[in-house]
Homo-oligomer: A and B are copies of this chain.
Amino acid sequence: MRPPGIIFDLDGTLVDSVYQHVVSWHRALASRGISCAQSRIHRAIGMSGKQFLPKLLRDEGYRPSRRLIERLESAHAKHFNRIIRSVAPFQGTTRLLKVLKRRSIEFAIATSGSAAQTKALLARIKGRPACPVITADDVAEAKPSPDLFELAAVKLKKDPSDCFVVGDSVWDVLAGRRMKASVVALRSGGFDYHELQEAGAYRVYEDVRELEQSLGQLGIPAESDK
């Protein structure tokens, strides 16, 4: 038997941070006098600012200069850091990772966030087993490009098609499909079942708790072979 590797997204998948990101981007935009509906920002979370801001700014009638994007990214990071203490891991996150460890299933975390932000978020997951962590600082292009997930597969020494990508947004699904992984989507980031399924998720679960209960559906054996 060839055990699969699992590559986890972080925001909205392992930690409950999507709504804090929405509020932080909303404030960053408002601080430059740019008004944008929060539901639109929500659907962009999972991409880095560099990836989603150009279209969003153009749609609202602004020129997406590199300088404006850098200022917005910096304002977002500043506000997000101020409220990061309100971010908690989802119930069941640590438990799921421990179960995988016990079953000798290797996993990694790959996120569009910066290295600094990722470190602060991971510190919120008490008792987390160690694993490779890939951030936007490690690759040229964040999601929906597959670079982050591909690098994670390399770190896991797995063929991409032997990996499951677990994420909460359609950008995770797209990036995972591009690298030919099977993608499991969780609704815990506030995306709807249909959006995730239509984007091409192999399975859609409510959250990490349901994923843990469903590991059999992913062909992950209940007990370690060791």
Contact = CB atoms under 8 A, between A and B. Distances in A.
Interface string A158-175: 000000000000000000
A188 B30 contact: no
Contact of A19 (B35, B42, B188): B42
A199 to B, nearest CB: 12
Contact of A16 (B27, B38, B191): B38
Interface in A1-58: 12, 16, 18-20, 22-23, 26-27, 30, 35, 37-39, 42
A88 B34 CA distance: 12
Contact of A22 (B12, B19, B193): B19
Interface residues of A, number: 29
A207 interface: yes
What is the oligomeric copy number? 2
A205 interface: no
Contact of A192 (B12, B86, B191): B191
Given A19-B42, A23-B23, A86-B27, A37 B194 contact: no
A90 interface: yes
Nearest to A209: B37
Nearest to A42: B190
Contacts of A207: 37
A32 to B, nearest CB: 14
Contact of A38 (B91, B190, B195): B190
A187 interface: yes
A188 to B, nearest CB: 5
A189 interface: yes
Given A37-B91, A39-B188, 13 more contacts: A16-B37, A18-B39, A19-B19, A19-B26, A26-B86, A27-B86, A30-B86, A35-B91, A39-B189, A191-B192, A192-B194, A193-B194, A194-B195
